[in-house]
């Protein structure tokens, strides 16, 4: 299938969008949608090793043009956990933990103009299933995400929305092989693979 090449635009991330992930990290279910940004300098197609306290978070990603979803991709939201925890305790922003260079590892994007209801993904690390989720598990659906983001921030053409991560996040090592699969129903429509270096 023909792929869409995204440009270096901003990445808008939805946090705490899966209940079981919220529970595994001991967080509270938020009253409102949690939204934060990653700059275009964080975008990469390579997985770097940032140390033993860097956490991976697999996510479905949306490519947006003219306020509409035009493509789907896969991504890893990389998080420097100790820095994030310190910032959270002090009530400070998360940029140092979430927006560093290489913190948004993205696949290619494929054109998509069908219903998202049957979308799901799987993340394997060294061939072991580590994360999986489907559309039904999202607290906020993609249409709600776009509406909320657009209420205070302009989504420019080819901006990317990372839709949140399900349970199963964790740490990784040099040489670990990540494989992600995106499904529409039972059909694999996109695969991506990274090796941590």
Residue 1 within any structural domain of the chain: no
Can you tell me whether residue 40 is helix, strand or coil? Answer: helix
160 belongs to a structural domain: yes
Structural domain including 123 reads 11-195
Average pLDDT on 138-147 reads 95
Asked if the structure places residue 75 within a domain, the reply is: yes
| Separation between Cα atoms, residue 173 and residue 197, nearest integer Å | 9
Q: Kindly state the DSSP code that residue 4 receives in the 8-state scheme.
A: B
Instruction: Look at strands 159-162 and 11-15 and give their pairing.
Output: parallel
Q: For residue 97, tell me if it sits in a domain.
A: yes
What would the pLDDT profile of 98-114 be if each residue is shown by its tens digit?
999 999 999 999 999 88
Whether 5 is covered by a domain: the verdict is no
What pLDDT is stored for residue 114 in this prediction?
Answer: 86
- Regarding pTM above 0.75, the answer is yes
Closest residue by Cα to residue 160 from 55, 77, 83: 77
Residue 1 has pLDDT above 60, yes or no: no
Does residue 64 sit within a domain? yes
pLDDT digits (tens, 9 = 90+) for 34-86: 999 999 999 999 999 999 999 999 999 999 999 999 999 999 999 999 999 99
Q: In terms of DSSP H, where are the helices of 25-177?
A: 81-90, 95-98, 142-150
What's the structural domain count of the chain? 1
* CATH of residue 186: 3.90.850.10
Higher per-residue pLDDT: 27 or 181: 181
In a domain? residue 4: no
Q: How many CA atoms lie within 13 A of 57 on its CB side?
A: 28
Asked, for residue 70, whether it belongs to a domain, the answer is yes
């Amino acid at each position: 299938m023909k792929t869409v090449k995204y440009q270096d635009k901003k990445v808008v991330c939805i946090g705490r969008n899966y209940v079981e992930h919220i529970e595994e990290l001991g967080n509270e279910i938020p009253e409102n949608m949690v939204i934060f940004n990653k700059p275009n300098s964080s975008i990469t197609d390579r997985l770097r090793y940032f140390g033993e306290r860097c956490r991976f978070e697999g996510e479905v990603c949306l490519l947006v043009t003219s306020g509409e979803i035009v493509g789907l991709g896969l991504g890893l939201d990389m998080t420097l956990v100790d820095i994030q925890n310190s910032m959270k305790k002090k009530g400070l922003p998360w940029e140092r933990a979430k927006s560093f260079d290489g913190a948004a590892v993205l696949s290619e994007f494929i054109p998509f103009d069908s219903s998202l209801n049957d979308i799901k993904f799987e993340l394997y690390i060294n061939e072991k299933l580590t994360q999986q989720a489907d559309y039904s598990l999202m607290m906020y659906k993609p249409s709600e995400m776009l509406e909320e983001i657009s209420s205070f921030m302009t989504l420019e053409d080819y901006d990317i929305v990372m839709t949140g991560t399900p349970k199963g996040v964790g740490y990784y090592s040099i040489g670990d092989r990540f494989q992600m699969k995106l499904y529409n129903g039972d059909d694999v429509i996109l695969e991506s693979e990274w090796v941590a270096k």
